[in-house]
Structure 1
Amino acid sequence: MNLLNSFLDATLVIGGVPILWREIIGNAFGLASAIGGMKRVVWAWPVGIAGNLLLFTVFLGGVFNTPQNLDLYGQAGRQVMFLIVSLYGWWSWSRAKSAGVKEPQQTDPSRSIVTEPHEDIAAVQPRWATHKERIGMVLFAIIATIVFAWIFQSLGSWGPLADAWIFTGSILATYGMARGWTEFWLIWIAVDIVGVPLLLSAGYYPSAVLYIVYGFFVSWGFGVWVKIQRDEKKKWADLLESQTQKV
């Protein structure tokens, strides 16, 4: 128990401002998970879960005695959501290992998160969401943000509207990642745009800095997934042309 308390209380002082080590480590795990998501490896999910557990204790400042001593229920609640959705994503991507070869791309999700991706090996094939799926995402974003803003305000959350969108957008982005929708990168950008000012105002500086890093990273990741889709489309076109010529 003493060891656990020492870890929970461990801080790094920068410019006279105390910063929890668990906030730094939790965000580092989150970044590692995002990198794994871009590389389409299954280990992105458990690494992300470890970060979620740490950050849950950070954003319930009134419960876990953080330097900020305030609660962001949306930020804390999304860590719980991440655990649930990440379990689904972990299971969904892992199915590729036993699904066999159904596309030109062979799947092998057992690769380490630090392994360089091979052109013919991945855990999921990116695709654009369908028209129906996009309508569903927009409706969910609007309705859920309104509902969660009311709930968080009732609970006494700091910055309930922004907190609600971050929570809602995180649900959509994580679910989209699990489904292989390329749009999930764009949703993360929208979350970052709202999250940075909120976290800076609340004094969660490492998280705010990581949100900025995420902003650049997800923009890069979006470009990577779009390129993968274009290459895959070209591969199918070349395969079809080759088969046509044989006939």
Structure 2
Amino acid sequence: MSLLTDLYDAHLTIGGHAIAWREIVGNAFGLASAIGGMRRKVWAWPVGIVGNVLLFTVFLGTALGGHGAPLFGQAARQVFFVAVSIYGWQRWRSTRTTPDAPAVVPRWATTRERTAYLLAAGVGVVFCAWLFTQVGAGWPAPSWYYVADAWIFVGSILATFAMARGWVDFWLVWLAVDLVGVPELIYFHYYPSAVLYAVYAGFVVWGFVVWLRVARAEAPNQDRAPEVVGA
């Protein structure tokens, strides 16, 4: 138990702020998963799950006796990431035609699909902001915190689900999450995660261009793709 405790508590101190190694390693796995996702590799999902588990322990912060503030939305989304990642893992494995083939054919969500996920996101943000307010009652937080954390939570789940479905939209959703996530993480001194979110923002733009080009290039083959990717 002593070794596990030492590993759990291991951290760096930079500028007077403690940074857990779990945060650094978890974000490294997250970046590797994002690269795999852009390349449409099935291994992106299990790699991402490892990062989610590590970051879950980080973002609970003081709730588990760690360093930093307890970001409830950031912590809760790691749990849902694991669930959605298991779905995406199984889906990409089933849609891959050969072991070396890309797992999905990227496509834009249909108007019906996009309307449904935007409505669900709006309802989800309102509900989660209220829920996080109740959970965090008594914890001194700025007025914007619960809404921002609710969007990060809902938007992240939406982006992961859209990635599992092979929708090009998921890159744009991730960009919207990053634009909120970076300022929040800097404010609460989660600097490795803030840096990674900033890196993600540039990476997301790149990934969006890659998937958009692939979607256009493989469009002639999509007379069968909606059945496979969107079934």
Structures share fold, TM-score greater than 0.5: yes
How far does residue 64 in structure 1 lie from its aligned partner after superposition?
2.3
Q: Quick one: distance in 2 between partners of 1:226 and 1:61?
A: 38
- For the pair shown, the structure with the greater C-alpha radius of gyration is 1
The residue that corresponds to 1:212 in the other structure is 198
User: Percent identity between the aligned chains?
Assistant: 57
Name structure 2 gaps, 5 residues minimum: 224-231
Q: Report the number of matched residues.
A: 217
What CA deviation, in whole Å up to 9, does each residue of 1:115-156 have, x standing for no partner?
xxxxxx201110110000010111011110000000001100
Q: Quick one: distance in 1 between partners of 2:63 and 2:88?
A: 29
Per the normalisation by structure 1, the TM-score is: 0.84
What CA deviation, in whole Å up to 9, does each residue of 1:67-91 have, x standing for no partner?
21x2111000000000100000000
The residue that corresponds to 1:43 in the other structure is 43
Q: Does 1:135 align with 2:135?
A: no
The residue that corresponds to 2:127 in the other structure is 147
Q: How does 1:123-202 map to 2 (within 5 A)?
A: 123-156=103-136, 158=141, 159-202=145-188
Q: How does 1:103-114 map to 2 (within 5 A)?
A: 107-108=97-98, 110=99
Q: Quick one: distance in 2 between partners of 1:170 and 1:186?
A: 11
How far does residue 233 in structure 1 lie from its aligned partner after superposition?
2.5
Name structure 1 gaps, 5 residues minimum: 98-106, 112-120, 238-247
What CA deviation, in whole Å up to 9, does each residue of 1:87-122 have, x standing for no partner?
00000011124xxxxxxxxx33x45xxxxxxxxx20
Q: State whether residues 17 and 189 of structure 2, in contact with CA within 8 Å, keep that contact through their aligned partners in structure 1.
A: no
Q: Quick one: distance in 1 between partners of 2:168 and 2:222?
A: 19
What CA deviation, in whole Å up to 9, does each residue of 1:190-226 have, x standing for no partner?
0000001111111111111100000000110000000
Q: State whether residues 156 and 174 of structure 2, in contact with CA within 8 Å, keep that contact through their aligned partners in structure 1.
A: yes
